[in-house]
Amino acid sequence: MHEKNKMIRLTGLWKQETKDGKTYLNGILGGSRIMILPNEYQREGKKDPDYHIMICERPKQEDAPKKKTGDL
């Protein structure tokens, strides 16, 4: 791979499933949580995107559920 085409890894993503069985990707990037969701509103014959990237502020540690001693 040429130096000018070198790719940089930003973060890892985890496959998750909603309560109704739909799959999406979820991860953390810096101080933000990102989600990649399939576009459920694609119109036939249009150039609509296949996926949407959603971003929100990452919950603060005190807002996040606390782990019990011994939890991994």
What beta strand segments (E) does 1-72 contain? 14-17, 23-29, 32-38, 51-57
**Distance, CA of 59 to CA of 72 (rounded, Å):** 19
Average per-residue pLDDT in the chain? 85
Check if the beta carbon of residue 50 is closer than 8 Å to that of residue 42: yes
**Distance, CA of 65 to CA of 15 (rounded, Å):** 20
Whether the per-residue pLDDT at 45 is higher than 60: the answer is: yes
pLDDT digit string, tens, across residues 1-15: 566 788 999 999 999
Question: What is the pTM for the complete model shown?
Answer: 0.68
